[in-house]
């Protein structure tokens, strides 16, 4: 038990130590988030280099306490590249297609280090089916890239991504612990510790953002570790558990994709239609919105734990409770009205920019 506690405390301590350094370094390297549109919740320039501290806390504690393994090295190698890509995007910006390409590359790195989805469970009986390597590669890439972006997309309010990541990772760590998956448990505790250590600086009012570097890194690490799996058995439950734990960000991402497709807008285009925006539109402030989403994430985490113990009925009822809360926020009329105003404001803003560009061309 001391090893579990030590890796968690070490991760927390490292992030608490290095986050103030990240705050000082951010302006010097240009990692500053300047509010340029009405989609952003902050009103002043904010450092967004917190991913560096989160990386040091997570990887540092893993290297200290976890034994060397091929899977661990692949996870750290891919996570390091993901952090670099995110930081470059935070400083200089990066086209969405290029960023997606690097995410695919990081997933391939995991695959090459034997961290992959290589079989599926037989839903109609016992046993499982091994996948051809090309199918395994495609499925692994889709899962890793998808989960990586769920954490990135939910990072819209102070403390939201860090808190949801803490809840998800601590839930998976507990499931791994009771199933005697020691290394998975300790790795997840490192992620949980780093997320918790970052919250004192990131919870509203935030002093620093984790940026794309932090959110992409955390998403990638959770995706990779969930591929390795917290459960020993190759059952359908082992597939559902990580989906339940990450139910909130997965739903928010899927809903965002469907919303943008329905509105005939690019999938990667940012908007104010995310669940946290809709909750705020009801009249809640940032703190209460984030705490409510923590609650939904917590319910989903407990549902996953119950599912792993074969308590399917209890797990089902918790999922229904969480889904009910989400439904209320998505269908609230004031939320819809405010969201429509936000969409109109974005359209007006884009039209003004186009008009300015045309005027500049005429003057030239």
At 227-281, the pLDDT tens digits run 887 665 545 565 677 888 888 888 888 877 887 787 777 776 666 767 777 777 7
* CA 84 to chain centroid: 16
Domain annotation covers residue 358: no
**Three-class SS of residue 356?**
helix
Residue 189: pLDDT above 80?
Answer: yes
Domain annotation covers residue 204: yes
Domain annotation covers residue 318: no
Q: Which of 207-211, 305-309, 314-318 has the lowest mean pLDDT?
A: 305-309
Percent over 70 (pLDDT), the chain? 82
Percent over 90 (pLDDT), the chain? 50
Domain annotation covers residue 213: yes
Tokens of 93: 């910006």
Domain annotation covers residue 255: no
Residue 88: pLDDT above 90?
Answer: yes
Domain annotation covers residue 321: no
* Segments forming the whole domain that contains residue 192: 2-232
CA-nearest of 109, 103, 105, 112 to 133 is: 112
Taking the C-alpha atoms of residue 165 and residue 169, their distance in angstroms, rounded to an integer, is: 6
The DSSP symbol for 167 reads H
Domain annotation covers residue 126: yes
Per DSSP, which regions of the chain are E strands?
A: 32-33, 46-47, 119-121, 128-130
Q: How many domains does the chain have?
A: 1
DSSP-assigned states of every residue in 70-122:
HHHHHHHHHHHHHHHHHHHHHHT---HHHHHHHHHHHHHHHHHTT-S--EEE-
* CA 9 to chain centroid: 22
Domain annotation covers residue 130: yes
């Amino acid at each position: 038990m001391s090893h579990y506690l030590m890796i968690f405390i070490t991760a927390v301590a490292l992030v608490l130590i290095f986050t103030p350094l990240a705050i000082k370094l951010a302006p010097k390297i240009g990692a500053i988030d300047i509010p340029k549109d009405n989609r952003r919740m902050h009103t002043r320039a904010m450092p967004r280099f917190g991913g560096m501290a989160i990386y040091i806390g997570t990887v540092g504690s893993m290297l200290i306490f976890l034994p060397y393994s091929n899977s661990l090295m692949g996870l750290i190698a891919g996570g390091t590249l993901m952090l670099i890509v995110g930081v470059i995007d935070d400083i200089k910006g990066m086209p969405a297609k290029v960023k997606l390409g690097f995410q695919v590359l990081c997933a391939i790195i995991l695959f090459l280090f034997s961290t992959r989805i290589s079989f599926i469970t037989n839903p109609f009986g016992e046993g499982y089916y091994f996948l051809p390597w090309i199918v395994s590669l495609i499925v692994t890439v889709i899962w890793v890239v998808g989960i990586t972006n769920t954490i990135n997309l939910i990072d819209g309010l102070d403390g939201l991504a860090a808190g949801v990541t803490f809840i998800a990772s601590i839930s998976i760590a507990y499931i791994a612990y009771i199933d005697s998956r020691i290394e998975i448990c300790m790795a997840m505790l490192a992620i949980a510790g780093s997320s918790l250590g970052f919250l004192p600086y990131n919870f509203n009012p935030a002093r620093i953002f984790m940026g794309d570097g932090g959110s992409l890194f955390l998403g990638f690490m959770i995706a990779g570790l969930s591929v390795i799996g917290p459960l020993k058995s190759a059952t359908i439950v082992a597939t559902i558990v990580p989906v339940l734990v990450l139910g909130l960000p997965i739903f928010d991402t899927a809903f965002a994709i469907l919303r943008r497709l329905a509105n005939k807008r690019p999938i990667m285009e940012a908007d104010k239609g995310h669940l946290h925006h809709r909750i705020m539109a009801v009249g809640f402030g940032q703190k209460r919105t984030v705490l409510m989403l923590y609650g939904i994430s917590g319910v989903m985490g407990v549902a996953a734990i119950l599912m792993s113990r074969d308590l399917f009925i209890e797990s089902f009822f918790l999922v229904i409770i969480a889904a009910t809360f989400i439904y209320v926020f998505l269908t609230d009329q004031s939320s819809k009205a405010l969201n429509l105003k936000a969409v109109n404001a974005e359209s007006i803003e884009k039209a003004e920019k186009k008009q300015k560009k045309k005027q500049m061309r005429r003057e030239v």
